[in-house]
Amino acid sequence: MNVIASRPAPQYPPHARTYRYDEIDREFLAERIAEFSDQVARRLRGELTEDEFKPLRLMNGLYLQLHAYMLRIAIPYGLLNATQLRQLALIARRWDRGFGHFTTRQNIQFNWTKLEDVPDILRALAEVDMHAIQTSGNCIRNVTTDEYAGATPDEVVDPRVYAEILRQWSTLHPEFTWLPRKFKIAITGSPNDRVAAQVHDIGVLAKRNVAGAMGFEVHAGGGLGRTPLIGRKLRDWVPEDEFLGYMEAVLRVYNALGQRDNIYKARIKILVRDLGDAFVEMVEREYATMPRDPYRLDPAIVAAIAAHFAPPPFAALNDIAPPEDPEFAAWASRSVRPHRQPGYASVTISLKPVGGIPGDASADQMEVVAALAERHSFGEIRVSHVQNLVLPHVRQDELFAVWQGLRAAGLATPNIGLISDIIACPGMDYCALATARSIPVAQRISERFADLDRQLDLGECFVNISGCINACGHHHVGHIGILGVDKRGEEVYQVTLGGSATNDAAVGELVGPAFSYDDIVDAIETIIRTHVAHRALGERFIDTYRRIGLTPFKEALYAAA
Amino acid sequence: MPLLEDGRIVDDPWVTVADDAPLPEAPTILPLARLQREAAALAGRNGPLGVALPPDVAPEAIAPLLGRLALVELTLPSFRDGRAFTQARALREHHGYTGEIRVGGHVIPDQYLALLRCGASTVVVPEGADPAVWDAARRVIGIAYQHSAAPGHPLSLLRRKLEVA
Ligand code: SF4
């Protein structure tokens, strides 16, 4: 293990603003790998039962799936540098089948790993300061944030700083590693919620008050799954230095009182729903009585961590007009996003080619993106919560070159935010819990709507697909949500309409009886045709739906029956 | 069952007494109900007293009695059930309790270090358990990113080296 502790620090792209490990962080990771290797050895010697070993391997990201072990690797708040992405490509090639799968939690999964290879994979990750800690298990999971952090013009506070603070604080937290159930925190620093804060166990909005002081609005008890719930606001304002203390208070009430006898009622959302205002009062009481000093977030610590995320050395530029190329323009209209820095833009890379598996990237593609990031984005890459990638800081006069590079690698599908930019969970193709396939449904829908002009005409529309009630595909908050269930041995698909994961968060409404695997794509077609028939000029699907309600869709779908 | 302290098996002077059995002279761990019921009568007793606090009872319930208690025993009904971690931390932090916090039930070595950091003092380990495995488990990770309620672990946010006695 000393080999790892003493290995040289990785050579990062000089300007990439990812958190840089120091000696202590590296030593910690080496110790953690040693601990896991020992746990594997004890399991093999029979000193740990499979029942005891399971949560330990889960807390190191290792799942047993239908066909193989799946290793889920943490990409802290979706931030990667080019060196790290190249290492993921290497892992994909050496220990998987040449692919990786980016998830809605801004992580990456390798679906075909072997148990005996896992310690080596963890060591390869540690070489670039990465790990698989707490990507599963009943603990605080990888914190997620805005994929455009540090780049988007509407940002008030850089959420990466506090996401990193949360990451450190939650890493092997002694008190919160054996919670009733998994625990997911999302944080945004923009008034436009792009992290689905209201459907997380804790959703945090970082903001400033009129005096310019930093603070946090804290929501808790949101979630999807079997019982979709929108979170409750606990506090409008938690001052910066009290942030972690308040988080501790929320987690303590949950750890003490969350249900443990029924896995379907164990998430914090059930406790918050059942206790209502009393939950908020209990958190406040816990917080009022706990000692403050040990939990105070020292401004010096915040400043030290913020230094990791200082703006890269932008050139002084002006905004320019894009080149006149229709194909480029079509791509740019979906993939290019304004930047806070004049002359720059953020580029979203679609991992949703027509007929492809949403979120999949080949090792070759990862290397192409890493190289483009190095040349054009200060070596930075983000993973988005809708399973795409982002180059956050691209000069506008280099957008054309970036597009050409992406196009050559099959990464320039101009469908960001359109109907074929589908979120789909792994479903029956990989997942042991699945009741239906979800990937092939996504593939068939993207093929049906392959015509780009038609997609552009339809405008923004989010289709989310889950292969079982656990809702990893976030079907409840899709404008169109699809849930695959098993009905007497047959896969059938329930459809919900009107969900949303943004500021106006809403859980979709069930449209009626489920559709068969063969009929589901036609049903989506009918829904879209109904939207087109009723829409006002340029109206998005979700707005039409909110205006006219469920009935016209119901009638169109079930008229024949 | 063997008792573990600082990674070693130690003698256990405490006896656990059922709800209606007569009280011995030795240090005695009582069920919570009996402690509460007989609190007044027990006030005159000289020998050390302890209580078994069930996982679903907040330490607040015994706050007025803590001054009399030299030991609080917590339980993990299953190693997956982490309520005792919060109970231990609450005893130390909210109530300033300085007596022994003992943890029994289904505890695995991989939880030992975290229990210590939440303020536990001793762990009841299974018959035949190898103390070397437990001792190694509390040393395997020497770095932490959080404050700790353990008296010997003066940690603060966000990252310090741990020192194991
Ligand atoms: S929603 Fe169900 S099928 Fe899909 S990944 Fe989650 S558990 Fe598996």
pLDDT in tens, A356-373: 999 999 999 999 999 999
Atom nearest to A468 CA in ligand 1 = 2
Q: Does A37 touch chain B (CB under 8 A)?
A: no
Cβ neighbours, 10 Å, residue A291: 14
Q: Does A454 touch chain B (CB under 8 A)?
A: no
Atom nearest to A427 CA in ligand 1 = 3
Query: Cα(A101) to centroid of ligand 1, in Å?
Result: 14
Average pLDDT by stretches of 10, chain B with 165 residues: 96 92 90 92 87 97 95 97 97 95 96 95 95 93 82 51 54
Specify if B41 maps to a domain: yes
CB of A464 closer than 8 Å to CB of A477: yes
pLDDT surpassing 90 at residue A48: no
CATH code of the domain covering residue B154? 3.20.20.70
Specify if B165 maps to a domain: no
Task: Please compute the mean of the pLDDT values over residues A373-401 and round it to a whole number.
Answer: 97
| Full residue range of the structural domain in which residue B119 is found | 3-159
The DSSP symbol for B84 reads H
What gap in Å lies between CA A554 and CA A551, rounded to an integer?
A: 5
pLDDT surpassing 80 at residue A427: yes
Among the partner residues B80, B87, B145, nearest to A178 by beta-carbon distance: B80
Specify if B164 maps to a domain: no
pLDDT surpassing 80 at residue A9: no
pLDDT value of position B154: 39
Specify if B141 maps to a domain: yes
What are the chain A neighbours of B134 within 8 Å (beta carbons)?
Answer: none
> Distance (Å) from the C-alpha of residue B123 to the closest C-alpha of chain A?
16
What gap in Å lies between CA A25 and CA A122, rounded to an integer?
A: 15
Specify if B67 maps to a domain: yes
What is the distance in angstroms between the CA of the first residue and the CA of the last residue of chain A?
Answer: 66
Q: Do A174 and B110 touch (CB under 8 A)?
A: no
Give the closest residue to A401 by CA, choosing from A501, A448, A331.
A331
Cβ(A426) to ligand 1 under 6 A?
yes
Q: Do B148 and A175 touch (CB under 8 A)?
A: no
Measured at the CA of A387, the angle between CA A70 and CA A397, to 5 degrees, comes to: 135
Cβ neighbours, 10 Å, residue A406: 23
Task: Please compute the mean of the pLDDT values over residues A115-141 and round it to a whole number.
Answer: 91
Angle between helices A159-170 and A243-257 (to 10 degrees): 50
pLDDT surpassing 60 at residue A561: no
Indicate the number of domains in chain B.
Answer: 1
Query: Beta strands A99-102 and B3-5: pairing type?
Result: unpaired
pLDDT in tens, A174-223: 999 999 999 999 999 999 988 989 999 999 999 999 999 999 999 999 99
Domains along chain A?
A: 3-126 (3.90.480), 151-308 (3.30.413.10), 326-408 (3.30.70.3340), 423-557 (3.30.413.10)
Query: Cα(A431) to centroid of ligand 1, in Å?
Result: 6
What gap in Å lies between CA A405 and CA A372, rounded to an integer?
A: 7
Specify if B54 maps to a domain: yes
User: What is this model's ipTM?
Assistant: 0.94
> Distance (Å) from the C-alpha of residue A158 to the closest C-alpha of chain B?
19
Name A254's Cβ contacts closer than 8 Å, sequence gap at least 6: A179, A180, A183, A268, A271
Residue of A429, A470, A474, A477 with the most ligand 1 atoms within 8 Å of its CB, for mutation: A470
The reported pTM is: 0.93
Q: Does A20 touch chain B (CB under 8 A)?
A: no
Q: Confidence band (pLDDT; 50, 70, 90) for A3? A: very low
pLDDT surpassing 90 at residue A150: yes
A506: helix, strand or coil: strand
Specify if B97 maps to a domain: yes
Cβ(A482) to ligand 1 under 6 A?
no
Angle between helices A299-306 and A159-170 (to 10 degrees): 110
What gap in Å lies between CA A408 and CA A403, rounded to an integer?
A: 9
Q: Which of A27-31, A131-135, A235-239, B41-45 has the lowest mean pLDDT?
A: B41-45
CA dihedral A420, A142, A118, A174 (to 10 degrees): -160
pLDDT value of position A15: 85
